Amino acid sequence: MIINIILTIILFMILVIPHEFGHLVAAKKMGVKVNEFSAGMGPALWQKQKGETLYSVRAVPLGGYCAMEGEDATDDEANVPDNPRAFNNAAWWRKLVILFAGAFTNILVAIVTMIITVTIIGMPVNTLSKVSPDGPAAEAGLRQGDKIVSVQGEDVHSWSDTMSVLNREDGKRPIKVEVLRSGKTREYSVTPVASEKEPGRYVIGIEAAVSHNIFRGIYYGTVTTWKVNAAMYQALGQMFSRGVSAGDVAGPVGLVSIVDKTRTAGLINLLYLVSIISLNLAIINLLPIPALDGGRILFVIIRKISGGRITDKMESYVHLAGMMLLLILFVFITWHDITGLIK
């Protein structure tokens, strides 16, 4: 249990610190003063002033922050209204860049970890690593090392393309398979047979070689991340359309349980979990909820359109109310996770 808690904290910090670091880099590039960048919350364990920014490591390893000048300004803060380097006085497009930077960094983390995962696992390619001796492919003349270039007249550029065409077949007719062997293309007619392991599916007795090429990893890692991202948005929409229940979300306690199950399944699954949670963090932060980056982005747009009818103080109070609601939600989810473990 202790190992799982430590891993969960490390995982949480790996995801949160890059998010805040994204805000830090963007703020400095946009000319906004950053007063403090902190890893962790609570009492300071270590601090160092570098230039105009104080860098801190704090006692509670749950979160972090990038405190910008005038970010939560009120009319009582006399140093903000005339300060050109305060966040609230920055141009609207500069604010958007800074606010988007956190989620953008989380997306980069998700892509990188997915690329590492895909590269380690390897991607199946159209080159055959094995042809079952008694299978239809071997009987037709296919050999180990052949590279499939088309199936039923359709060009196939990946193993998923190949399987997509093969899985459409019902075994009632021969399949034309064109392969590249020793620099020459050859065409074979293969009749699928019913799979013994998967009822209703027809196979020809071939297995794909696996490539650990980093460039393939970059391509498929990025594509996989994009597909997962799209699936998450779809799932989020379904959750809100049917109503969100406590069982649809998990807090820190629930995350400990997830990490426990993932850790026992191996490093690859843990890396995949990092990628998924990093994407989750990006998506959640971009929701138009006060106190979240998405809520602040919404206010930047509304204030730009409304022409200054909303003051800094009004916006600060709305974000404060949003933070209170998020804290209540956090406590509720944590309580639900704890009671779930007890049961």
Burial string for 3-32 (b: 16+ CB within 10 Å, else e) reads ebeebbbebbbebbbbbbbbbbebbbebeb
Cα gap 60→292, rounded to integer Å: 21
| 15 token code pair | 């995801």
Annotated catalytic residue within 20, 69, 71, 178:
20
Pick from 142, 145, 199, 223: nearest CA to 175: 142
Cα gap 336→251, rounded to integer Å: 9
Q: Are strands 147-151 and 154-155 parallel, antiparallel or unpaired?
A: antiparallel
| 334 token code pair | 């944590």
**CB neighbour list of residue 165: distance below 8 Å, 6 or more residues apart:** 151, 152, 154, 156
Q: Is residue 290 within 8 Å of residue 310, measured between CB atoms?
A: no
Active site residue 71: no
- What HEC string does 276-294 produce? HHHHHHHHHHCCCCCCCHH
Calculate helix-pair angle for 92-121, 214-242, nearest 10 degrees: 120
Secondary structure letter of residue 198 according to DSSP? S
- What HEC string does 86-139 produce? CHHHCCHHHHHHHHHHHHHHHHHHHHHHHHHHHHHHCEEEEEEEEECCCCHHHH
Q: What are phi and psi of 167, to 5 degrees?
A: -70, -15
Please list the residues that pair with 55 across neighbouring strands.
37, 48
Residue 42's region, left for phi above 0, alpha for psi from -120 to 50, else beta, is: left
Q: Which residues are catalytic?
A: 20
